[in-house]
């Protein structure tokens, strides 16, 4: 099959690799119909995340059709259409029993290494370095899904297109988690720093959970426009103002409840702190949150994010009304053989 592989720092390639096989009874093989590139894939491409090996198949956001199942997988049949969440979870350890699936104690064979580096291990993750297990990823034609009786979300409604449900694999629940951290009970003012796809999902989720006003802050007008048009939120281009806190005050928006920040917006958290009402928690969702916490970099009270199926399961309910996941953060769509171009574009 063809797959997108890491070929060294800042180098990604498409190569022919062997087809995946069932290795354990609880595995399934999925023929991938759609896959996405995550912002966090950039940290792999540029070598920020250690323990990548040349030839590693990338990608942790994918969905497709089950083509083979191991003997232990009884809840899936060949032909089922599934979205595969990025954390691999065994379903039977203490963490999994308490729905902390991203902390699964068994699914990462290299957990000891992660433990030494971060102080805590993570679950296995598809296509995300050897620290998270060395699992082949989903930017490929097929993928082996371990513990397939636990993770995959069956999509039975065939009228829903792939791009509507694909983001259940990672970024929709990530954004949703950011909103959920804000403990919205109705009527809040929520500020979202960063209007990339995750920020858009966070804003949409905050609205859905009952926030009265959602203010999305970024410096890219096209992203802010998408947020305004699709999500019916207010926006603020921070390059147009001298001071974001002052701008919020001037607009009588003082005291947003919570913040969400994503990825590479350096310094967003310290700036955000100046805008918050006293005692309001700010939270960072996304893959940089944990490493900031590990560095003791706590400008704001943060909660360690346990991103995982727990959020996915709840977010699952969002599919039928197609609100949070319908609008268009998906800006490009390309078949696998052109992946390096797409990676370059990202």
Stretch that binds other proteins, among 124-132, 174-182, 323-331, 334-342 (CB under 8 A): 124-132
Q: How far apart are CA 334 and CA 91, in angstroms?
A: 34
* Residue 187 CA from chain centroid, whole number: 27
| Positions 10 through 49 that interact with other proteins (CB under 8 A) | 17-21, 23-26
Stretch that binds other proteins, among 50-58, 181-189, 211-219, 333-341 (CB under 8 A): 50-58
DSSP state for residue 54 in the 8-state scheme? T
Give me the least distance between CB of 114 and other proteins, in Å please: 11
Closest distance between other proteins and the C-beta of residue 139, in Å?
A: 12
The interface region with other proteins, picked from 123-131, 228-236, 293-301, 321-329 by CB under 8 A, is 123-131
Q: Locate all alpha helices (DSSP H) within the chain, ordered by sequence.
A: 41-45, 94-97, 111-118, 162-165, 171-181, 197-208, 221-231, 244-250, 268-273, 288-294, 309-316, 339-345
- In the complex with other proteins, the residue whose CB is nearer, 54 or 303, is 54
Of the candidate residues 64, 85, 87, 124, the single one contacting other proteins (CB under 8 A): 124
18 vs 335, beta carbon nearer other proteins: 18
- 3-state SS, residue 185: coil
Listed in sequence order, the residues at least 6 apart from 148 whose beta carbon sits closer than 8 Å to its beta carbon are: 26, 27, 28, 66, 69, 70, 73, 76
> Does position 60 bind other proteins by CB under 8 A?
no
Nearer to other proteins, 19 or 331 (CB): 19
Among positions 9, 31, 71, 112, the unique one binding other proteins when judged by CB under 8 A: 112
Tell whether residue 127 is a contact of other proteins (CB under 8 A).
Answer: yes
The yes or no reply on residue 134 touching other proteins (CB under 8 A) is yes
> Distance between CA 213 and CA 186 in Å, rounded?
10
Would you count residue 209 as binding other proteins (CB under 8 A)? no
Angle between helical axes of 171-181 and 309-316 (0-180°, round to 10): 90
What's CA 58's distance to the chain center, in Å? 14
Binding residues for other proteins restricted to 67-86, rule: CB under 8 A: 72
Chosen residue from 147, 176, 193, 201 binding other proteins by CB under 8 A: 147
State both tokens at 291.
Answer: 């490493």
The answer to the question of residue 133 lying near other proteins (CB under 8 A) is yes
**Shortest distance in whole angstroms from residue 337 CB to other proteins:** 17
- Please identify, using beta-carbon distances, which residue of 113 and 192 lies nearer to other proteins: 113
Could you give the CA distance from residue 335 to residue 2 in angstroms, rounded to a whole number?
11
Q: Is 135 in the site for other proteins (CB under 8 A)?
A: yes
Identify the residue among 47, 50, 109, 337 touching other proteins (CB under 8 A). Answer: 109
28 in Cβ contact with 76 (< 8 Å): yes
- Shortest distance in whole angstroms from residue 235 CB to other proteins: 40
Q: Which of 34, 40, 108, 280 binds other proteins (CB under 8 A)?
A: 108
Of 136, 142, 146, 145, nearest in space to 5 by CA: 136
Burial of 330 (0-12, 13-18, 19+ CB in 10 A): middle
Sign of CA dihedral 297, 302, 304, 307: negative
Tell whether residue 139 is a contact of other proteins (CB under 8 A): no
**Rule CB under 8 A: which residues touch other proteins?**
3, 5, 17-21, 23-26, 53-57, 72, 90-94, 97, 105-113, 124, 127, 130, 133-137, 144, 146-147
């Amino acid at each position: 099959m063809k797959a997108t592989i890491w070929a060294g720092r800042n180098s990604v390639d498409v190569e022919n690799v062997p087809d995946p096989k069932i290795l354990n009874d609880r595995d399934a093989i999925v023929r991938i119909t759609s896959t996405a590139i995550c912002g966090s894939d950039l940290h792999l491409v540029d070598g920020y995340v250690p323990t990548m090996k040349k030839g590693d198949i990338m990608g942790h956001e994918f969905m497709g059709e089950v083509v083979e199942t191991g003997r232990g997988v009884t809840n899936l049949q060949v032909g089922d259409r599934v979205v595969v969440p990025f954390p691999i979870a065994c379903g039977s350890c203490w963490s999994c029993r308490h729905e902390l699936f991203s902390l699964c104690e068994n699914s990462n064979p290299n957990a000891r290494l992660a433990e030494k580096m971060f102080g805590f291990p993570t679950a296995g993750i598809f296509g995300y370095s050897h620290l998270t297990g060395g699992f082949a990823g989903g930017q490929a034609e097929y993928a082996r899904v371990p513990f397939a009786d636990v993770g995959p979300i069956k999509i039975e409604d065939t009228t829903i297109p792939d791009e509507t449900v694909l983001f259940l694999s990672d970024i929709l629940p990530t954004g949703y988690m950011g909103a959920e951290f804000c403990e919205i009970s109705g009527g809040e003012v929520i500020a979202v720093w960063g209007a990339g796809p995750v920020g858009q999902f966070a804003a949409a989720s905050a609205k859905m959970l009952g926030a009265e006003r959602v203010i999305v802050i970024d410096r890219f007008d096209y992203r802010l426009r998408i947020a305004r048009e699709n999500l019916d939120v207010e926006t603020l281009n921070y390059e147009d103002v001298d001071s974001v806190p002052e701008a919020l005050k001037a607009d009588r928006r003082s005291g947003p409840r919570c913040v969400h920040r994503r990825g590479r917006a350096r310094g967003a958290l310290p700036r955000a702190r100046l805008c918050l009402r006293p005692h309001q928690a700010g939270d960072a969702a996304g893959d940089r949150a944990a490493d900031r916490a590990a560095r003791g970099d706590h400008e704001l009270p943060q909660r360690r994010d346990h991103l995982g199926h727990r959020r996915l399961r709840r977010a699952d309910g969002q599919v039928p009304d197609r609100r949070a996941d319908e609008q268009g953060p998906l800006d490009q769509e390309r078949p696998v053989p052109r992946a390096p171009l797409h990676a370059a574009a990202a």
